[in-house]
């Protein structure tokens, strides 16, 4: 396996060469990837919002944003600035503490989940042993924030929206976790790096989507429901509940919910590309390309090029999924709440259990193809 570029090692060594003690050098390195990841996540909000507006406009034969920046690309920045300048209204009958904490509880775990999203062999903040499990654990914190926001508003729409959001999240949590479990079964580990490495080697033929087609569909549906995207946007169904748990929110507190939902969309797309679409690995293996070109795979230029293209590859896969989500929004009508719960409990849950046992059985029968 290609060892990749060790950015951390080179950075720390460069600082030690400058005369810093190694402890200090490591501490200086510590916040850098985190801040970078935060910037990546924030920029992805702007891209996602712009894509959403432009693609929605295209689907409805409109032009969409075009005045703010080139082809309207800065529209989301303008929206953010507007939200910062908005008056902050806390309803008189609300519980002010829970009302203020609610959006923070929703947004923090979403950003925190970027801890385990890999963009390359060493391009991850930290390769934790529990890896993907951390994401599952963190994703179950958001419903608490929805409940807090809905309950503390002391508004009927908010309360119903908050309860719906929590019920929806917990119903789709289990199919989600079970389909991840099938991937973990093939990887023999939880680390996101291992999950991608297990898929690389045969180009796009080695990706998990071929070995886990059912798991992929279940995961995709559940991830849409967890993100509260159409057709599963019941908690904020505007015809029924005004804006659900966000009804009483204004200004930056509303902005935090908005940020949370778009970062969550991007995060889910990244996780899908890591779990099922081979993460940073190329559709054609690097070994084959270098073999055809007659260059050594371990040459520094090739390593640098393949690492940079790996980041691009991850992002292309993720944005392709974001594009699909937005198209889906204008294609499928919203489901009813009882249909939503039926789909989760009576269809996805049994199917994901069968998928898990099938994977285990296939792994016993064909250990080579299913990760030995």
Partner 1 sequence: MFVLSGYEYFLGFLIISSLVPVVALGASKLLRPASAGPASRTTYESGCEPIGGAWIQFNIRYYMFALVFVIFDVETVFLYPWAVAFHKLGLLGFVEALIFIAILVVGLVYAWRKGALEWS
* Residues from 78 through 97 that contact partner 1 (CB under 8 A): 83-93
User: The tokens of 107 are what?
Assistant: 């947004």
Of 127 and 287, nearer to partner 1 (C-beta) is 127
Instruction: Among 112, 295, 299, 304, indicate the residue that binds partner 1 (CB under 8 A).
Output: 112
Of 84 and 205, nearer to partner 1 (C-beta) is 84
Instruction: Among 51, 189, 287, 309, indicate the residue that binds partner 1 (CB under 8 A).
Output: 189
Which of these ranges, 160-168, 219-227, 285-293, 319-327, lies near partner 1 under the rule CB under 8 A?
160-168
Contact between residue 321 and residue 273 where contact means Cβ atoms under 8 Å apart = yes
User: What Cα–Cα distance (Å) separates residue 197 from each residue in 5, 187, 322, 335?
Assistant: 15, 9, 24, 38
Q: Min. distance of Cβ 277 from partner 1 in angstroms?
A: 21
R_g of the chain, CA atoms, integer Å: 22
User: What Cα–Cα distance (Å) separates residue 222 from each residue in 3, 79, 310, 334, 343?
Assistant: 34, 29, 27, 15, 10
Which of these ranges, 14-22, 215-223, 298-306, 339-347, lies near partner 1 under the rule CB under 8 A?
339-347
Cα gap 372→189, rounded to integer Å: 12
Task: Tell me the CB-side half-sphere exposure of residue 232, using CA atoms within 13 A.
Answer: 25
Residues 259-318 that bind partner 1 (CB under 8 A): 259
Nearest to 143 by CA among 217, 228, 220, 49: 228
Q: Min. distance of Cβ 207 from partner 1 in angstroms?
A: 19
Q: Is 351 in the site for partner 1 (CB under 8 A)?
A: no
Q: Is 48 in the site for partner 1 (CB under 8 A)?
A: no
Q: How many residues bind partner 1 (CB under 8 A)?
A: 85
Count CB neighbours of 99 within 10 A. 21
Of 103 and 231, nearer to partner 1 (C-beta) is 103
Instruction: Among 139, 155, 246, 273, indicate the residue that binds partner 1 (CB under 8 A).
Output: 155
């Amino acid at each position: 396996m290609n060892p990749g570029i060790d950015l951390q090692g080179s950075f720390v060594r460069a600082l030690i060469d400058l005369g810093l003690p190694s402890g200090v050098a490591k501490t200086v390195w510590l916040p850098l990837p985190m801040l970078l990841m935060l910037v990546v996540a924030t920029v992805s909000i702007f891209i996602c919002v712009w894509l959403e507006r432009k693609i929605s406009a295209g689907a409805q034969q409109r032009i969409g944003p075009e005045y703010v920046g080139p082809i309207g690309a800065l529209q989301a920045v303008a929206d953010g600035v507007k939200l910062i300048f908005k008056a902050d209204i806390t309803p008189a009958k609300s519980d002010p503490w829970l009302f203020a904490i609610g959006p923070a509880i929703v947004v923090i775990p979403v950003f925190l989940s970027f801890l385990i999203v890999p963009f390359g062999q060493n391009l991850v903040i930290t390769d934790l042993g529990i890896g993907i499990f951390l994401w599952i654990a963190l994703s179950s914190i958001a419903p608490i924030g929805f409940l807090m926001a809905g309950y503390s508003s002391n508004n009927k729409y908010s309360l119903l929206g908050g309860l719906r959001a929590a019920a929806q999240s917990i119903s789709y949590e289990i199919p989600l976790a079970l389909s991840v479990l099938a991937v973990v079964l093939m990887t023999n580990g939880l680390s996101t790096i291992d999950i991608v490495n297990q898929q690389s080697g045969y180009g796009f033929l080695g990706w998990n989507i071929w070995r886990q087609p059912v798991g992929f569909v279940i995961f995709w549906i559940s991830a849409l429901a967890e993100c509260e995207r159409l057709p599963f946007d019941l908690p904020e169904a505007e015809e029924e509940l005004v804006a659900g748990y966000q009804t009483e929110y204004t200004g930056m507190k509303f902005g935090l919910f908005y940020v949370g939902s778009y970062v969550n969309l991007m995060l889910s797309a990244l996780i899908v590309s890591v779990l099922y679409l081979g993460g940073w690995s190329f559709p054609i293996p690097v070994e084959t390309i270098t073999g055809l070109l007659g260059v050594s795979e371990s040459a520094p230029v090739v390593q640098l090029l393949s690492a940079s293209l790996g980041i691009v590859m991850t992002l292309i896969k993720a944005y392709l999924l974001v594009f699909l989500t937005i198209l889906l929004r204008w294609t499928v009508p919203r489901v009813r709440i009882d249909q939503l719960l039926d789909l989760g409990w009576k269809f996805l849950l049994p199917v994901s259990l069968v998928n898990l046992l099938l994977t285990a059985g296939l792994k016993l029968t064909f250990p080579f193809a299913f990760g030995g």
